[in-house]
Amino acid sequence: MILVDTCGLLALQDGSEAFSESACQRLEEPGSKVYVSAITAFEIGQKHASGKLLLPISPQEWFESMLRHHRIEELPVTSSIGIAAAALPLIHRDPFDRILVATALAHHLTILTSDRIIPEYPGIETVW
């Protein structure tokens, strides 16, 4: 089971060329489930609003389209995940990534990410 981060979701838009063979296998495994955190929608919207991310349609439409097309299930950011993210060691200072780590730990997910700091968290597995 995979949790796709923002960079991973953007890379999926362009095809799987950016991913390792291992990542592709994990994504395409029969019965494999792929998830994305609701915080990723916020990050996509924020990047779009600041002009750092150009999208052909609105961020909402793009996000929903990506989830449908790639059969990705959205996970909410619950109060438990928020509190767990705040309690994590300050290995990563990016609040989005801390929420992803807490989400992955809560749901026992591997994170699809190119981030080099996230794997430093104990109990976190990543693939790219």
* pLDDT tens readout for residues 61-111: 999 999 999 999 999 999 999 999 999 999 988 999 999 999 999 999 999
pLDDT at 16: 64
Q: Structure pTM?
A: 0.91
Could you tell me the two tokens for 104?
A: 């992955």
Domains present along the chain, CATH in parentheses = 2-127 (3.40.50.1010)
Examine the pLDDT at 31 and tell me if it is beyond 80.
yes
The DSSP secondary-structure symbol of 3 reads E
pLDDT at 65: 96
Contact partners, residue 30, CB within 8 Å, separation at least 6: none
